[in-house]
Amino acid sequence: MAKNKFNKQWLQDHLKDPYVKMAQKEGYRARAAYKLKEMDEAEKLLRPGMLVVDLGSAPGSWSQYLRNKLLDKGELRGRIIAMDILPMEAVPDVTFLQGDFREDEVLKQLDALVGQDKVDLVVSDMAPNLSGIESADMARIAHVCELALEFAQTHLKPEGALLVKAFHGSGYSQIVESFKRVFRVVKPLKPKASRDKSSETFLLGRVLK
């Protein structure tokens, strides 16, 4: 009974959520688009001509926003490569790879898609399936962040940037430290579109050391 009550409350909150309404109105697949929009506008992350990799892209709202920002007079200037373990409905001009980012074989496919080009920006809204056991969950989150960091080290331009989703809790400070070893500038970001109750935060690393 309590679970049903919780689900009902979540649904009511969700339907009243201004970002959900805005997403429906503006054609975004999820309210998460506004998290990226807010961080992009604050940090000036995107401009036409960039090569951007979107990790954990399904259902596609970040890819939609990236495409909108790289459009110039109706033409895409730049490249967007997206990947997720889940299927994603096609987004125009976005190359999508379905697979598990934690698997070497899938990483090789992603490497092949990127090719010899250096990446300007890697964004990751990836979150592993959480069990509710904090120590296990933080280890999974840290692992996903480490993989994104390794990918960025290999593929980013020297002045490139990596934006990942993380969560406050045990292990968070270690993720920040690992970012500081790789980037000159490391900044935590909490967009307004991120729900207040959520421990979700984002970490931005800029300019490789």
**Residue numbers annotated as active site:** 165
**Coil, strand or helix at 151:** helix
The two tokens of residue 40 are 């992009």
E strand spans, the chain: 50-55, 71-72, 75-76, 78-84, 94-98, 119-124, 156-167, 183-189, 200-208
DSSP secondary structure, 179-201, as one string: HHHHEEEEEEE--TTS-TT--EE
Strand pairing class (183-189; 200-208): antiparallel
What whole-number distance in Å separates Cα of residue 22 and Cα of residue 29?
11
Q: Which of 123, 187, 181, 126 is nearest to 152 (CA)?
A: 123
CA distances from residue 111 to 91, 108, 138, 186, 194 in whole angstroms, order as listed: 21, 5, 27, 25, 31
